[in-house]
A and B are shown apart, each in its own frame.
Chain A
């Protein structure tokens, strides 16, 4: 149980980080995020089977592919929306998500497969501490999430470009006056978010299954981001663990369908009680 919570929350961490980074820099809720996550599983699987790439090589490839698609999404779709309302930008991400979902259905016929089993990826169980047994892939998922979190935290706290991203998200105009290329900064946010999402998508498809409903999994990452605070990096981990734990408990004692709905019920409750999330800044929320 603890092992399952660990690996699910690690996936949620990698998803929520993407939502938070994009929201923090450009205040756009990226509804295409889940579909990017989903399609990367399919692309990775297709790549492995068609050019017989060793499965683990698909991970760096998906990281790079995610970076490129993040850049493309920003340059082609988001940059032209500068000056339009944020609502229009959000609608664009919703439409993009729909288009990606459709393309995945056209390209891969919406098949449900189990890449981990089909590719017979080495997945031996290890007992970390008594009672907690993780498989190789799950260990990789948890380690990746830790690396991503630590790297991003250090990046935003200490590196000049991380600080510039924070600066540009607070006041893009002043950032531009102070010599920051804000389009590069915004593009950077999309690149990081998409790269992590695609990497996580490939990894998730290895450990669980591959199906179009992966984009619903990713939307639960949005629930995690809200619970942690849409603008808060440090809220991501506790929120991911909390949501994953509740979800899996409900799955065990309730039903799988109920477990899928639970994160969204949490969304409604958070909006009611504490809309800025666990660690978000209260000032970011303007009440009317």
Chain B
């Protein structure tokens, strides 16, 4: 226990700025990184592919968490922005652009659309962003459908639009294992960006806007601008994630981008912990693993494969909805809240006082 942090001992700014504050934590995170790096060496192709999709989900959850968890704005347009990412990438890839410029352009277009959609809704207080993003979702859904079916290739309408294998210049991302390391790097970048963004002036402004917008305005924060900034950053990151998703899967197809997908991402944020980057990780992993847990449950109950096929997706939707409700009512801080309580319990043991274990 001696190496665990037992109080707040930070005496200078350098210590306060450090993300990993004790040697124990540094060792722990180091081991974790090594373990994650070693996964493709021991695991099969399928497991690595699932990991890749989970990395994508985490990036998407971080993007949404910046908006919903930190700035306190609900968006149901997440799947629409993923669709934008996928289809814009396809379009520019078809024009012959390489992978890196395509992703950059897609991200920029996502940001631009974020400004256009967010600006009218975010000058208003309250729930107008939800309305605006629902509207946006259906409009995008229609547009990408049109785009997909307007092509000449009949097969494309059924299989989705195929994307080329991305070329990074020094390596082509041909198989799951290469993708694994590439996505891991991207995830590390996104995480660093998000973690540091929320610790700066911008992040603090978002939290202030979320907790009480009137007070935030009184403190000199331009509420509308920071809300818009949150939406734009989130849209850009989401579009980038959408582009990566399209490349990993190798195709884009309109029917994937449903409103349910948006709600699934909201579920990741709520279940993991709104306003926490760690929460985005936990929520995305939880939600990504849920289908496998349900399949496993079906297997152990001896449900036939055909019945499984019919019921897997619906029961997944039910479980997402119910779990989200349970977390919202009983543990609004999500899995992170539970984790912090457990940690506080051990840090303070045996001197546990209930009021201390509830601290932030």
Which residues of A come within 8 Å of B, CB atoms? 27, 29, 31, 77, 80-81, 84-88, 90-92, 94-103, 105-106, 109-110, 216, 219, 222-223, 226, 257-258, 260-261, 263-268, 271-272, 275, 285-288
B296 → chain A, closest Cβ, in Å? 18
Q: Which residues of B contact A90 (CB under 8 A)?
A: 74, 127, 130
Q: Which residues of A contact B141 (CB under 8 A)?
A: 261
A198 → chain B, closest Cβ, in Å? 19
B331 → chain A, closest Cβ, in Å? 12
**Residues from 114 to 131 in B contacting A, C-beta threshold 8 Å:** 117, 120-121, 123-128, 130-131
Q: Cβ of B224 and Cβ of A105 under 8 Å apart?
A: no
B217 within 8 A of A: yes
Q: Cβ of B123 and Cβ of A267 under 8 Å apart?
A: no
Q: Cβ of A96 and Cβ of B134 under 8 Å apart?
A: no
Contacts A87-B74, A286-B125, A286-B126 given; indicate if A98 touches B260 (C-beta within 8 A): yes
Q: Cβ of A29 and Cβ of B130 under 8 Å apart?
A: yes
Contacts A101-B260, A258-B142 given; indicate if A271 touches B127 (C-beta within 8 A): no
Q: Which residues of B contact A261 (CB under 8 A)?
A: 138-139, 141-143
Q: Cβ of A77 and Cβ of B325 under 8 Å apart?
A: yes
Against A, the Cβ 8 Å flags (1 = close, 0 = not) of B124-167 are 11111011101111110111011000000000000000000000
B39 within 8 A of A: no
Q: Cβ of B139 and Cβ of A287 under 8 Å apart?
A: no
Against A, the Cβ 8 Å flags (1 = close, 0 = not) of B311-326 are 1011111111110110
The docked-state distance in angstroms from the alpha carbon of A258 to that of B325 is 34
Q: Which residues of B contact A102 (CB under 8 A)?
A: 314-321
Q: Which of B23-31, B40-48, B192-200, B262-270 contacts A (4 or more CB under 8 A)?
A: B262-270
B332 within 8 A of A: yes
B310 within 8 A of A: yes
Contacts A275-B120, A288-B213 given; indicate if A97 touches B131 (C-beta within 8 A): no
The docked-state distance in angstroms from the alpha carbon of A72 to that of B303 is 32
The docked-state distance in angstroms from the alpha carbon of A222 to that of B121 is 16
The docked-state distance in angstroms from the alpha carbon of A268 to that of B143 is 15
Q: Which residues of A contact B131 (CB under 8 A)?
A: 29, 222, 226, 267, 271
Contacts A95-B328, A257-B145, A268-B117 given; indicate if A86 touches B127 (C-beta within 8 A): yes
B337 within 8 A of A: no
Further contacts, 4 of them, CB under 8 A, given A94-B263, A261-B142, A265-B139: A91-B74, A110-B314, A257-B146, A267-B134
Q: Which residues of A contact B227 (CB under 8 A)?
A: 288
Q: Cβ of A95 and Cβ of B263 under 8 Å apart?
A: yes
The docked-state distance in angstroms from the alpha carbon of A87 to that of B311 is 31
Q: Cβ of B328 and Cβ of A268 under 8 Å apart?
A: no
Contacts A91-B328, A102-B315, A260-B138 given; indicate if A271 touches B121 (C-beta within 8 A): yes
A70 → chain B, closest Cβ, in Å? 17
A134 → chain B, closest Cβ, in Å? 29
B329 within 8 A of A: yes
Q: Cβ of B325 and Cβ of A92 under 8 Å apart?
A: yes
A41 → chain B, closest Cβ, in Å? 17
The docked-state distance in angstroms from the alpha carbon of A91 to that of B266 is 8
The docked-state distance in angstroms from the alpha carbon of A96 to that of B266 is 13
B76 within 8 A of A: yes
Contacts A267-B131, A267-B132, A271-B135 given; indicate if A287 touches B125 (C-beta within 8 A): yes
**Residues from 90 to 118 in B contacting A, C-beta threshold 8 Å:** 117
B72 within 8 A of A: yes
The docked-state distance in angstroms from the alpha carbon of A264 to that of B141 is 11
Q: Which residues of A contact B243 (CB under 8 A)?
A: none
The docked-state distance in angstroms from the alpha carbon of A84 to that of B72 is 13
Q: Which residues of B contact A95 (CB under 8 A)?
A: 263, 267, 270, 320-322, 324-325, 328
The docked-state distance in angstroms from the alpha carbon of A13 to that of B269 is 34
Shortest beta-carbon contacts, A-B, top 9: A99-B321, A102-B317, A267-B135, A102-B318, A105-B314, A261-B142, A95-B324, A98-B321, A264-B138
